[in-house]
Structure 1
Amino acid sequence: EIEKTTRKNNSKRRRQRKLEEERQGQEGTFTSVSAQHSTPELMAEEGPGGDRPHHHPPRRLLGEYNHQLCPRHFSSIVRPTKGVEMKPALLSLITVNQFAGMDHGDPYTHLSIFYELISTMGVPGEDEEAVFLRLFPFSLTGKAKTWLQAHPNQSLTRWEDVERKFFARFFPLSRYISAKSEIKTFSQGTDEPLCEAWERYKSLLRKCPNHGFDDVAQLKMFCNGLMPQTKMLLDASTGGSMMMNDSEEAITIIDALATSDYQAHHDRSQPTKKRILELDTQNAILAQNKLLSQQMEELKK
């Protein structure tokens, strides 16, 4: 039994030595392969002690910090994938009607003109958004241009977003409340003719298209703001009271009276032109009177 145990232990030790020799042989092979794959460049980079030197970034001069290149393709509005034909004549018209973002500027009128100009291109409905996105930046200048460029690059991808942000910036809630109040408190000026009062009131409505007043409310506010003599004129033109007509009839009557009033006001404002013959006659009389005065002075001496 003792002899059997001894043989078993000897066999176990031989196996362990064999495994140890195989492991050492594998490590030696790996070291040899690694040495063979060491490139001359890596060896050249190593210092005397085998340490690699530290790489320092290239030196920059003080003046270089003041001369950074401007991004060449920056645009807050994403460029449409579909090509857009940019006619010089159309670009010229758009730049002539630019919006500067001033407090007195009218963003609704600006977009209305912008849409009208784009419509002259005859663009199909499915391509309109691409045209709006491409040409809208050319319609802005001053504060409005600065506002657009303040958005991150390529951040505005839909025309609906551009339009919404444009109105939020240049027609905020405070301005909406003020514009709506102007409509409600409209009043005709003391020396303002009916034609000018009617045009001014319609202009107030256009500048605030989301006022929420229906046709009847609009006409009542206009009539209530008129001077007493103008109200009497409107009532007389209807043979009773303006309030007894519906909105369509009332608008037709006001338009007709405003047109007639404009013509009469225009005729009164035209200066009377004197004819050449009248001017020559007056000049002759003045010259004759001057000559007579000189002759009288000579006789008195």
Structure 2
Amino acid sequence: MQGTIQTRGTNSSEPLLNDPEIERTKRRNNSNKRRRRNRANPVGQPTTHIPEVFVYDIPKFTMEGEGGVHNDNQNRRRTIGDAFTYTGPGEFSSIVRPTMNDRLAEMKLALLQLISSHQFSGLDHEDPHTHLYIFYELCGSIRVSGADEEALFMRLFPFSLNGKAKAWLHSQPNQSLTTWRDVETKFLASFFPPSKNTEARTAIATFAQGADEPLCEAWERYKSLLRRCPNHGFEVELQVQTFCNGLQPQTKMILDASFGGSVMFRTDEEAITIIESMASTDFRSQHDRSSSHKRGVLELSTQDVVLAQNKIVSQ
């Protein structure tokens, strides 16, 4: 078969020969390709999908400078050995150490020695409230502002603990105590639990003067019971009445005479003033009088009682 093919760019009409054998060879090759493809994928058979292969992300290391190694991954592969090695922060204190000014940073050694000499060990007979009172008094020897005062408390408080109390402080989560309020609240919650609070309230309500206990010592002991339980909940009037009811009959009789017949005739402020005056007089008498006198009996003359009454009336 012959044909005429025109090419662009020429005006020649010279016929080009088309070889039939080449055309047949081309068609045969295309047919063979289709047959091979059909045999590989028969009609009606589902196409097989090759599953994805998941490759674990292996840390890539690049060199930085001479002999330097840099890990591109933020989270390094954790080995079993890492689990037994501490790699946390460098702060091992449960109390967050606040920033202090230069003057407080150079605290005198004498203050640390004073605080260390009044340590709280957490024993059953120790009172955490009394420990805090003493701690505040010692820290009060340094004049500081409000913010610096809290920093001072948090810096020095660990030095005031020992034994069981020190172990308690170390058992708190690392850097968990961020304010002095946190320290004080958790300290009292641990060493003055509700059971001790109940015992302290009971001791106040059932107060009784000892058989040989002077008025001055009974009054101081009663006030110490109140201090040991600041949240006792007793009103001032009830505190005075409870103390008077717990006195020995002879002591109560002399005290009632100072009240003008009964404590019920006085206000709480007047009653406390009279008790303080009588206790002060009794304290002096315990040291001034002969040791042959029986200890524990309130030895006040009638003149002492009259003088105490006149002092209250004149106020």
TM-score (norm 1): 0.65
Tell me what 2:149 maps to: 128
2:95 to 70, 74, 77: 77
Letter in 2 for 1:122: R
The correspondence of residues 147-166 of structure 1 with structure 2, limited to 5 A, is 147-166=168-187
The correspondence of residues 170-189 of structure 1 with structure 2, limited to 5 A, is 170-189=191-210
Tell me what 1:267 maps to: 288
Which runs of 4 or more aligned residues in structure 1 lie more than 6 Å from their structure 2 counterparts after TM superposition? none
SS in 2 for 1:234: helix
State the Cα distance separating 1:237 from its structure 2 match: 1.7
1:220 to 241, 247, 254: 241
Deviations 1:148-190 (Å, cap 9, x if unpaired)? 0011221211111111110010000000000000000000111
Q: How many angstroms apart in 1 are the aligned matches of 2:100 and 2:285?
A: 54
State the Cα distance separating 1:73 from its structure 2 match: 4.4
Q: How many angstroms apart in 1 are the aligned matches of 2:160 and 2:110?
A: 14
| 2:139 equivalent to 1:118 | yes
Q: Relative to structure 1, is the Cα distance of residues 261 and 82 closer, same or farther in structure 2, using a 3 angstrom cutoff?
A: closer
Is the Cα–Cα contact under 8 Å of residues 241 and 263 in structure 2 kept in the other structure?
Answer: no
Tell me what 2:226 maps to: 205
- The structure that is helix-richer by fraction is 1
State the Cα distance separating 1:266 from its structure 2 match: 1.6
Q: Relative to structure 1, is the Cα distance of residues 269 and 177 closer, same or farther in structure 2, using a 3 angstrom cutoff?
A: farther
SS in 2 for 1:161: helix
| 2:247 equivalent to 1:229 | no
The correspondence of residues 271-290 of structure 1 with structure 2, limited to 5 A, is none
Tell me what 1:90 maps to: 111
TM-score (norm 2): 0.62
SS in 2 for 1:226: coil
What is the identity percentage for the equivalent residue pairs of Structure 1 and Structure 2? 61
The correspondence of residues 232-271 of structure 1 with structure 2, limited to 5 A, is 232-268=253-289, 270=291
Say which structure, 1 or 2, has more relative contact order (CA 8 Å, 6+ apart). 1
1:142 to 144, 163, 185: 163
Q: CA RMSD in A?
A: 3.0
State the Cα distance separating 1:214 from its structure 2 match: 1.4
5+ unaligned residues in a row in structure 2: which ranges? Answer: 4-22, 31-61, 63-78, 293-315
Q: Relative to structure 1, is the Cα distance of residues 269 and 111 closer, same or farther in structure 2, using a 3 angstrom cutoff?
A: farther
State the Cα distance separating 1:72 from its structure 2 match: 6.9
Aligned residues: 213
SS in 2 for 1:190: coil
Q: How many angstroms apart in 2 are the aligned matches of 1:135 and 1:269?
A: 47
Q: How many angstroms apart in 2 are the aligned matches of 1:72 and 1:176?
A: 38
